[in-house]
Amino acid sequence: MLAYNCIEWLEIYVALAKAGLVAVPINFRLTAPEIEYIVANAEARAMIVQDALLESIEPARPNLSLIARDAWVHFGGPRTPRGWRGYESLVRAGAARAPAVEVAPTDTWALMYTSGTTGRPKGAIRNHQGSALISLVTALDMGLTRQDTGLLVMPMCHANSLYFSFTFTYLGATCVVDDRRSFDPEALLQSMAKQHVTFTSLVPTHYIMMLGLPPQVKSRYDVSSMRKLMISSAPARRDTKLAILEHFSNSQLHELYGSTEAGWVTLLRPDEQLTHLGSVAANGPAPARYACWTPTAATYPTAKWASSFRVRRTHSTATGRTRRRPPKRCVPTATAASATSPLRDAEGFIHLVDRKSNMIISGGENVYPSKSRRWLAAARASRMSR
């Protein structure tokens, strides 16, 4: 599936789940060769593309032989191009009854492609059980109900909007989809007021742009319906959090840390926002087991906390990656050691230091982040002195 945010994402996600088919959402920012790699790697048999993104996929079509001639589905344009099947005509041709398919909890529901820092993207294999668990846990931990109205702003090909959309559809609550192709801070405030939105999830830059609007612009829109806000994907400053809470005075603020593979990992709750700045919380939003493996102190002698690798085990975690072996089980000894891991501060709150593998290659040279360079230099100096 290749599309900007639109209501069809929700229709397609639900339809594929009911039919026992596997969803492969593709980032609309990718180029034709990148799209071609993902489609081939996933061994996709059908493609659904929004009209505005036809140019991104057309150069790759001749190389995608697994997709049948009548399995190129188009939507969102004034007419269906030659060589494509119309989405609305496909829907009209469907049966009135539910598919006669049994879908097991452990069946694969989606391949979520993510590259991290390791080059070509890998498809995280997510099953129905994991997706349902994320929905239930999110609703329970955040107190969401079917009376809520969620505004989906983050790309719907991405894990954030995907998982929150599941929560609201699972509850039978209302989803409002922001289908603008670029972020418009005033238009977002207008949507919040017009649709009486009670929840949305944004990154710090979104909030900064909204709160940076002139006071006379912000005062036009009544956002008193907002009850719960999520901030994630990047560190948030104290002044940003205070400004959010001041403008959305009826709302609580939650801060999320997670990944495509693991789902939600930790949740910093409303009463912890200003007392534990820089932390990603002490625990997660779901019953989960954590483990931390810590190298010797000599590895990073100048770090405030010794660098650790954080492992999370729960039923909502991806079951593996495409063309890779399933991940190994978390050993009990490592899980037992997590309570005293130096990754946590004195109060038990977790602080992320950096990625283990953040190295990039530029012009044939290995390039490391500034923190990693400092630690690497300190480690080398320590070894030389010995």
Domain ranges across the chain: 8-103
Q: Which residue has the higher pLDDT, 205 or 378?
A: 205
Examine the pLDDT at 169 and tell me if it is beyond 50: yes
Retrieve residue 72's tokens: 């190129």
Residues 229-277 have pLDDT tens digits of 999 877 788 899 999 999 999 999 999 887 777 777 778 889 888 888 7
CA dist 313 and 288 (Å) reads 6
pLDDT in tens, 202-229: 999 999 999 999 999 999 999 999 999 9
Query: Looking at per-residue confidence, does 282 or 174 come out higher?
Result: 174
Mean pLDDT of the chain: 80
Can you give the pTM of this predicted structure? 0.79
Count Cβ atoms within 10 A of the Cβ of residue 28 and give its class: 0-12 exposed, 13-18 middle, 19 or more buried: buried
- Six-digit token pair at 325? 């072996």
pLDDT the model gives residue 343: 63
Please give the pLDDT value at position 114: 81
The reported pLDDT for the residue numbered 133 is 87
Mean pLDDT of 139-165: 92
Question: Residue 376: its pLDDT value, please?
Answer: 46
pLDDT, residue 69, reads 87
Q: In what order do the strands lie in the sheet with 149-152?
A: 174-177, 149-152, 199-202, 228-232, 252-259, 263-268
Residue 39 has pLDDT above 90, yes or no: yes
DSSP 249-275: TT-EEEEEEEETTTEEEEEE-GGGTTT
Between 364 and 265, name the one with better pLDDT.
Answer: 265
Using DSSP, state whether 179 is helix, strand or coil: coil
Could you report the per-residue pLDDT of 79-91, keeping only the tens digit for each? 999 999 999 999 9
What's the CA gap between 47 and 201, in Å, rounded? 28
pLDDT score, position 331: 34
Confidence (pLDDT) at 119: 62
Per-residue tokens: 355: 């990625």
Structure tokens at 227: 């009850």
Q: Is the dihedral of CA 47, 49, 53, 59 positive or negative?
A: positive
pLDDT, residue 229, reads: 97
For the stretch 109-140, pLDDT in tens is 999 998 755 567 888 888 999 888 888 889 99
Structure tokens at 289: 């087991």
Closest CA to 283 of 262, 257, 304, 263: 257
Please tell me the predicted confidence (pLDDT) of residue 12: 96
Residue 274's CB: how many other CB atoms inside 10 A?
12
Model confidence at 364: pLDDT above 80:
no
Single-letter amino acid, residue 142? M
pLDDT at 1: 97
Classify domain 8-103 at the CATH topology level.
Rossmann fold (3.40.50)
